[in-house]
Chain A
Amino acid sequence: MNRRRRVALWVLAVVIVIVGDAGFLVYRVGPFGGNLAFDVTVDAAIGFATMAAGIVTWSRRPEGTIGPLLFAAGAAWGLTGVYAFGAFPYLVAAPGDTQVFTDLLVVVGSVLLPLHYAILLHLLLAYPEGVLHGGLERALVVGVYGLVVLRTIAILSDPVDNAILFFAGYPPFPFMGVAAFLYFSAVAVAAFVILGRRWLRSTRTARRIVTPVLGAALLLATAEIAAALVNLFGRWGPAWGSLGLSTNSRGPVLVSAWGILARLAVPVAFLFGLFRSTIERSRVGDLVIELGARQDTSLKEALARTLHDPSVELAYWIPARSEFVDAAGRPVSLPTEGSERAVTMVEREGEPLAAIVHDRSLLDEPALVQAASAAARLAIDNERLQAEVRAKLAEVQASRARIVEAGDAERRRVERNLHDGAQQRLVTLSLALGLLKEQLAQDGDPALAAQVDGLSTELRQALEELRELARGIHPAILTEEGLPAAVTSLADRAPVPVSVEEGRVGRVPEAVEATAYFVVAEALTNVAKYAHASRASVRLLRDGDRLQVEVTDDGVGGADIAAGSGLRGLEDRVAALGGGLSVESSPGAGTLVRAEIPCDGR
């Protein structure tokens, strides 16, 4: 809103107050009397405060309807006094002396107050976004405005009598008969039921903004109803008296003070809410600063703080996989329509970037969520790329482990084929040769028997080599008996004494078993080849979901993982399963080979 229009509105507000109160001045000087200075001051203050709140809201939130509505409510209140200009001549002159101009003022003046209430209702239901939510609210507001129109038509039919009847009994509250009182109460109850339900469903942020306005409205509604009751009971003297009060008691005065307070509270509450929501939106600014300076707080935590929703989750869109993943790169599924959680999409140029999964109640504040997601977009995109990399890394890690597992399975298959095929036949052949040799010896052909014996020895050697080959491919005992037994068998075959210490290893996944076995086998081979050790020891330890393997010797040391291709290959193999291999080998201080491999319990 530009400056000129703002100034025009302020001027208009002042004019309305002066005109309206001039009307009351005339009215009060007439037959009704009363505490003139006080009444006029309070009346002007209420009208002006409401219009002022409207102008401030209007200039702060030019896009919303709250500002114009507030101004209109204040103006309607302030101009009510013009009724007096129209009515005054009738009150002082003889009936029948009518003029068109004053009739019009009577009509306008007497419908402005109900209009003021209709606008207040509209304001209350549309607050804070400025739009009505759903059919029930629209029906209520349209109905109330419609009745103002009907009232206008009714008064037009006989302006003066209807208007005087209408205003009879002021103060504290002029227009209520029993029917009007019931109507007012029903509308107020309906409005507060709607608002109460909305309040219960809304977030802390929304409540902070709405609560002051709701409180002021409640104060006003109860003040009006109380005033109307006093008015009614005041007229029905006996009933009022039976409550222990008289029409001369301070009751009406107190009710009137309550009403004045409530009327002044309404504009103050709206302004309070305006500044509250300004503060809430400025939190988005804090978010930007926080994200800029962010070192250790996560994006998720920062968003959770800004939105006042600790349950906020972020899901990042991975276009290559057409799925959402979490920050660690694990696939996640978004909540479906109608669940407790709601989703706000963060997009860039029409392409999804991420989804903010939050509490359903935050749907009441789409502007806040949108502002926060817009502010965090850069950080979200950054985090999304990281999540994408993590997802890829996890994929690579998994496929690496699968390759190792597939390799192991293949080795097991080759070993079994060797065993079931060639080895089996050669063993049978060896047995046959043995029998043939004995036969020949019995038959008295020692030369031929010796020749067969030679063949038999040769065959036995071939078998031995084949068995070694098979064991190198995949040790049968590992499949048969598990890691500790296989390691013990390795230790038994080593050329130096090897002690084996084992703690709760049990059976672990085949790939882990095989890797640990080959680490021990390679380390013991190195001990035999290079270490000049007098003894070595192997430790196998299962620590929760990790298997630790240690091979130590008391040899010359100086082994290097980079130099030995055997350990290098094993390091890759261990890493493929998500573990690590290290070698400590200072010259002269022996060698320690340590591997740690994650394994799921079985």
Chain B
Amino acid sequence: MVATALLVDDHAGFRAQARVLLRSAGFEVVAEAEDAAGALETAGTLRPDVILLDVQLPDGNGFDVARAVLDGDDPPIVILISSREASDYGTRIDRSGARGFISKAELSVAAITALVRGDP
């Protein structure tokens, strides 16, 4: 079965590129959301395997969304992304419970695949 992915980012241009990237990495992008509310709703109904989640959303932040979707049975793998660097967020990334963080500039098939597999 092909793994399903949810893409959350408020920037349409970025979503277009990221969609291609996720497909290249072998995911079926079942939905896209542009804000925290949309992300929580789609994650609840479609139950994707992976969520590529932007930290900065117009109506909230990715850390809170991650905590919410991870708080349940059979939680998805959450990968946080941002145009900022991990060091700009201190310990918040670790505290959110997400699988990992990729700076948008470093986003690649290899980086996503490595995190999903759980490679060190």
Expressed in whole angstroms, the Cα–Cα distance for A428 and B91 within the complex equals 26
**For the complex, would chain A's binding face be called helix, strand, loop or mixed by DSSP majority?**
helix
Expressed in whole angstroms, the Cα–Cα distance for A435 and B20 within the complex equals 8
Expressed in whole angstroms, the Cα–Cα distance for A477 and B105 within the complex equals 18
* Residue from A425, A428, A434, A480 within 8 A of B88 (CB atoms): A480
Q: C-beta contact mask, B75-96 vs A, less than 8 Å → 1, else 0?
A: 0000000011101111110000
Cross-chain contact B24 with A438 (CB below 8 angstroms): yes
B108 adjacent to chain A (CB < 8 Å): yes
Residues from chain A with Cβ under 8 Å of B13 in the complex: 425, 428
A151 adjacent to chain B (CB < 8 Å): no
* Residue from B21, B89, B105, B108 within 8 A of A427 (CB atoms): B105
Enumerate A457-499 residues with CB–CB distance to B below 8 Å. Answer: 460, 463-464, 467, 471, 475-477, 480-481, 485-486, 488-489, 492-493
B104 adjacent to chain A (CB < 8 Å): yes
A211 to chain B, nearest CB (A): 76
A423 adjacent to chain B (CB < 8 Å): yes
Cross-chain contact A493 with B85 (CB below 8 angstroms): no
Cross-chain contact A477 with B107 (CB below 8 angstroms): no
Expressed in whole angstroms, the Cα–Cα distance for A471 and B83 within the complex equals 13
* Residue from B11, B17, B90 within 8 A of A477 (CB atoms): B90
Count class of interface residues, chain A:
20 to 34
Residues from chain A with Cβ under 8 Å of B20 in the complex: 435
Expressed in whole angstroms, the Cα–Cα distance for A488 and B90 within the complex equals 8
Q: C-beta contact mask, A427-445 vs B, less than 8 Å → 1, else 0?
A: 1101110110010000000
B27 to chain A, nearest CB (A): 14
A419 adjacent to chain B (CB < 8 Å): yes
Q: Please judge, given known A-B contacts A427-B14, A431-B21, whether A467 and B85 are in contact too, CB under 8 Å.
A: yes
Cross-chain contact A431 with B87 (CB below 8 angstroms): no
Cross-chain contact A431 with B89 (CB below 8 angstroms): no
Expressed in whole angstroms, the Cα–Cα distance for A437 and B90 within the complex equals 32
B109 adjacent to chain A (CB < 8 Å): yes
Expressed in whole angstroms, the Cα–Cα distance for A435 and B108 within the complex equals 8
Cross-chain contact B17 with A428 (CB below 8 angstroms): yes
Cross-chain contact A476 with B90 (CB below 8 angstroms): no
Enumerate B1-53 residues with CB–CB distance to A below 8 Å. Answer: 11, 13-14, 17-18, 20-21, 24
Expressed in whole angstroms, the Cα–Cα distance for A486 and B90 within the complex equals 7
Residues from chain B with Cβ under 8 Å of A282 in the complex: none
Interface residues of B (CB under 8 A from A): 11, 13-14, 17-18, 20-21, 24, 56, 83-85, 87-92, 104-105, 107-109
